[in-house]
Amino acid sequence: MRARRRFPLFLVLLALWWLLFTPGRSLTGTGSESLPYSAFLDELEQGRITSVLIREDRIEGERWAPPFRISRGFRTTRIEDPTLIERLRSSGVRFDSVVGGGWIRDTFSWILPLLFMAAFWWWMLRGIGRGQTQMGAIGRSKARVYVERDLSVRFQDVAGVDEAKVELREVVEFLKDPARYGRLGGRMPKGLLLVGPPGTGKTLLARAVAGEAEVPFFSINGSEFVELFVGLGAARVRDLFEQARKTAPCIIFIDEMDALGKARGLGALSGGANDEKEQTLNQLLAELDGFDPGGGVVLLAATNRPEILDPALLRSGRFDRQILIDMPDRKGREDILLIHLRKVNHSDTVEAKVLAGITTGFSGADLANLVNEAALIATRRGANQVEPADFTGAVERMVGGLERKSRVLAPDEKERVAIHEMGHATVSFALDRGKTVHKVSIIPRGIGALGYTMRRPMEDRNLIAQSELEHQIAVLLGGRAAETLRFKEASTGAADDLLKATEVARAMVERYGMGVDLGPASWMHDPAPPIPMREWNGLSGHSEEIRKRIDEETIRILEHAYGLAMRTLRHHERFVEAGVSGLLEKESLDEAELQTLWRLHGETESIAPQGFDRVQAGGSSGRPEPENHTHQT
- For residue 238, the domain's CATH number is 3.40.50.300
Whether residue 526 lies inside any domain: the answer is: yes
- For residue 374, the domain's CATH number is 1.10.8.60
Half-sphere exposure of 551 (CA within 13 A, CB side): 7
DSSP sequence for 121-182: HHHHHHHHHHT-STTTTTTS--PEEE-GGG----GGG--S-HHHHHHHHHHHHHHH-HHHHT
Task: Identify the domain boundary among 362, 377, 398.
Answer: 398
Those residues with Cβ within 8 angstroms of residue 247's Cβ, 6 or more apart along the chain or in another chain:
145, 216, 218
- For residue 86, the domain's CATH number is 3.30.720.210
Are residues 337 and 310 part of one domain?
no
Whether residue 135 lies inside any domain: the answer is: no
Give the span between the Cα atoms of 494 and 544, in whole angstroms.
Answer: 30
**Does 520 score more than 90 pLDDT?**
no
Host domain of residue 488: 411-632
| From 100-104, 372-376, 569-573, the region with the lowest mean pLDDT | 100-104
Whether residue 122 lies inside any domain: the answer is: no
Are residues 454 and 338 part of one domain?
no
Are residues 419 and 295 part of one domain?
no
Are residues 421 and 507 part of one domain?
yes
Whether residue 470 lies inside any domain: the answer is: yes
- Alpha-carbon 503 to chain mean position: 27
- Grade residue 272 by pLDDT with cuts at 50, 70 and 90: very low
**Three-class secondary structure of residue 490 per DSSP:** coil
Domain total for the chain? 4
Give the span between the Cα atoms of 75 and 128, in whole angstroms.
Answer: 47
CA angle 585, 590, 593 (to 5 degrees): 75
- Grade residue 374 by pLDDT with cuts at 50, 70 and 90: very high
- pTM of the shown model: 0.64
Closest CA to 460 of 337, 630, 627, 595: 627
| From 59-73, 105-119, 135-149, 353-367, the region with the lowest mean pLDDT | 135-149
Whether residue 107 lies inside any domain: the answer is: no
Give the span between the Cα atoms of 4 and 21, in whole angstroms.
Answer: 26
Are residues 391 and 499 part of one domain?
no
Packing angle, helices 2-21 and 102-130, rounded to 10: 140
In DSSP terms, 459 is beta-bridged to: none
Are residues 210 and 68 part of one domain?
no
Are residues 87 and 168 part of one domain?
no
Give the span between the Cα atoms of 353 and 374, in whole angstroms.
Answer: 16
Closest CA to 318 of 284, 346, 347, 294: 284
**Does 626 score more than 80 pLDDT?**
no
pLDDT of the residue at 620: 33
Q: In angstroms, how far is the first alpha carbon of the chain from the final one? A: 71
For the chain, give the number of residues.
633
221-257 exposure pattern, b = at least 16 Cβ within 10 A, e = fewer: bbebbbbeeeebbbbbbbbbbebbeebbbbbbbbbbb
Task: Identify the domain boundary among 48, 83, 100.
Answer: 100
Whether residue 458 lies inside any domain: the answer is: yes
Type of residue numbered 530: P
Phi and psi at residue 5, in whole multiples of 5°?
-70, -30
In DSSP terms, 563 is beta-bridged to: none
Give the span between the Cα atoms of 174 and 294, in whole angstroms.
Answer: 9
**Three-class secondary structure of residue 602 per DSSP:** coil
Number of Cβ within a 10 Å radius of residue 570: 12
Are residues 589 and 493 part of one domain?
yes
Q: Chain-wide mean pLDDT for the chain?
A: 77
Whether residue 9 lies inside any domain: the answer is: no
485 compared with 102, residue with greater pLDDT: 485
Q: pLDDT tens, 559-579?
A: 999 999 999 999 999 999 999
Number of Cβ within a 10 Å radius of residue 629: 20
Are residues 429 and 307 part of one domain?
no
Are residues 607 and 502 part of one domain?
yes
Are residues 503 and 429 part of one domain?
yes
Do the beta carbons of residue 460 and residue 627 sit within 8 Å?
no
pLDDT, average across residues 577-582:
91
Give the span between the Cα atoms of 380 and 1, in whole angstroms.
Answer: 55
- Grade residue 67 by pLDDT with cuts at 50, 70 and 90: low
- Grade residue 26 by pLDDT with cuts at 50, 70 and 90: very low
Type of residue numbered 240: L
Whether residue 204 lies inside any domain: the answer is: yes
- Grade residue 153 by pLDDT with cuts at 50, 70 and 90: confident
Q: pLDDT tens, 162-214?
A: 888 888 888 888 777 777 766 767 677 778 899 989 888 888 888 888 888 88
Largest CA distance in the chain: 128
263 compared with 459, residue with greater pLDDT: 263
**Does 393 score more than 90 pLDDT?**
no
**Does 267 score more than 60 pLDDT?**
no
Write out the catalytic residue numbers.
421
Number of Cβ within a 10 Å radius of residue 482: 28
282-296 exposure pattern, b = at least 16 Cβ within 10 A, e = fewer: ebbbebbeebebeeb
pLDDT of the residue at 104: 60
pLDDT, average across residues 63-81:
76
Are residues 189 and 171 part of one domain?
yes
pLDDT of the residue at 614: 32
Radius of gyration of the chain (CA): 39
